Amino acid sequence: MREGTFLMSPDVVGRRMEYQLPIFGYWHSADHSLLGDFLADWHVHFPDLRIIGDAEVEPLIGQISPEYAALFRRIRFPAQKSDVARLAYIHEFGGLYVDCHCGLRNAFDLRELFGKLDQYELVLWENSYITVPRPKDRMRPINGILLCRPRSSIVRHFLISGLANFDAHSRQEASEGLVECRPWHMCGAGNYSRILNVPASGDTQLKPEFAGRIFFSNIDDGPISIYRHNAYKTDPEQHWSRRKARELLFEPNNPT
């Protein structure tokens, strides 16, 4: 097997399909020194894991709308830039996105999950039932891990909706100043749930148009763990949850 290539399970006529699908994370600067443990963990089994940045993402957003590329450029908080960047990149190229705090538990099982893309358009991960107790039928997807085919229409829906939400927030800031920032709802997993689930179902029922298109994996005993690599969280005051109390989410809009 070539590095960075995943052989999918046989299709309906017995052929094997071969996809060049990236594994990637996002980082807001060219300095990756704080990602050493994360990269070392993943590169043992997936040496082609790459870190993308704004330069790779902005042209992809610009294909959707030049105004949205400018909007992305104005986002102050790296975590919220990441919410957009992962969707734009994985929509274009497919593959696996992982947050830079994620650890690899089982490379074999993860490769097996790539095979789900023969049948499903998208693999989403459920939040932990241990740390987030809830009924077993209540869906709580996370956005820190995503696996999908290229040009997934579901991912495009997530992205367009998220950008529209960011645009609305930017306009509100321009008229009102500092307003409540709710990233989970704007372009995070809350936005995913709103799009995917039947309203008033308590997040227990997918809308009919998504049935059979999404496979749900899990965090508790799945091949990827979360919050294993936290070296980049060196200054709590720089976390978006602290910054949102004192800073606007967007830089001023200066068309010139």
Closest C-alpha to 187, from 154, 153, 162? 162
Give pLDDT, residue 162. 98
User: Given strand 122-126, what is the order of strands in its sheet?
Assistant: 50-52, 23-26, 95-98, 141-148, 122-126, 214-218
Q: What's at 190, amino acid-wise? A: G
Give pLDDT, residue 232. 77
Grouping H, G, I as helix, E, B as strand and the rest as coil, residue 25 is strand
pLDDT tens readout for residues 185-196: 999 999 999 999
C-alpha to C-alpha distance for 23 and 94, rounded to whole angstroms: 9
C-alpha to C-alpha distance for 98 and 26, rounded to whole angstroms: 8
pLDDT tens readout for residues 101-146: 999 999 999 999 999 999 999 999 999 999 999 999 999 999 999 9
For 191, counting Cβ atoms within 10 Å of its Cβ (0-12 exposed, 13-18 middle, 19+ buried), the class is: buried
Specify which residues 141 forms β-bridges with.
Answer: 126
The predicted model scores a pTM of 0.91
Q: Which residues of the chain have pLDDT under 70?
A: 1-19, 255-256
Give pLDDT, residue 255. 57
C-alpha to C-alpha distance for 3 and 39, rounded to whole angstroms: 16
Give pLDDT, residue 241. 86
C-alpha to C-alpha distance for 140 and 122, rounded to whole angstroms: 15
Q: Which helix (H) or strand (E) segment is 194 a member of?
A: helix 189-196
CATH numbers and ranges of domains, the chain: 19-243 (3.90.550)
